[in-house]
Amino acid sequence: MTTLISPQENVYIFPKVNLYTDGSYRPTTGIGSHAGILQSDDHVLLVSDSSADTTINRQELLAVIASLNTLVRPCDVTIYSDSNYVVKGINSWMHQWKQQNWITTKGTPVANRDLWEALFHHGSTHKLMAIWVKAHTGQAHHPYFENNIVDNIAQSMSIKPK
């Protein structure tokens, strides 16, 4: 369904989605996991998974990518993450990396390029903006309490293999 402000303006209005994400990695188990909560109007969806042979940064990125994979039409997505790597990457770095053929300003290949390319692809479909939130507050009245929920899910999933 396409919603227009007016037929004359032909301006598409993207459905608004809030996405709360977190990743986890436990070196003692070698298991990483991620979780995301998507909220749009009165709809809520939880996405989570775990894997071995990973890193915390890969899990942080996978939380976003796996959640975006569930969207069936272009959306205006605000991503809330406690990972500066994800927030800065989405808001500025990945656009520079793409222009520089996935090479950093230091001249080294971008780490997790496969995931950044997948995220960049989502950015061509959706309007993405990332906001950093303080991690692990544990407060029910925290304005982004959903991040505490996805943190708890990701942490619990990284304790033991599937």
| Known active-site residue 151 | yes
| Known active-site residue 114 | no
Query: Is 1 among the domain residues?
Result: no
| Known active-site residue 136 | yes
Residue-level pLDDT, tens digit, the chain, 162 residues: 334 344 455 556 789 999 999 999 998 888 999 999 999 988 999 999 999 989 999 999 999 999 999 999 999 999 999 999 999 999 999 999 999 999 999 999 999 999 999 999 999 999 999 999 987 666 555 557 788 888 888 888 887 655
* CA-based nearest residue to 39, from 98, 84, 83, 80: 80
Query: Is 31 among the domain residues?
Result: yes
Query: Is 7 among the domain residues?
Result: no
Query: Is 99 among the domain residues?
Result: yes
We report the CATH number of the domain holding residue 89 as 3.30.420.10
Residue span of the structural domain in which 88 resides? 17-157
The catalytic residue among 34, 122, 146, 151 is: 151
Dihedral of alpha carbons 103, 131, 15, 144, sign: positive
The catalytic residue among 23, 32, 36, 89 is: 23
DSSP 28-61: TTTEEEEEEEEEETTEEEEEEEEEES--HHHHHH
The catalytic residue among 22, 32, 34, 89 is: 22
| Known active-site residue 60 | yes
Query: Is 9 among the domain residues?
Result: no
Query: Is 76 among the domain residues?
Result: yes
Query: Is 56 among the domain residues?
Result: yes
The catalytic residue among 32, 82, 89, 126 is: 82
| Known active-site residue 22 | yes
Q: Look up the pTM and report it.
A: 0.88
Q: At what angle do helices 56-68 and 113-125 cross, to 10 degrees?
A: 30
Domain count of the chain?
A: 1
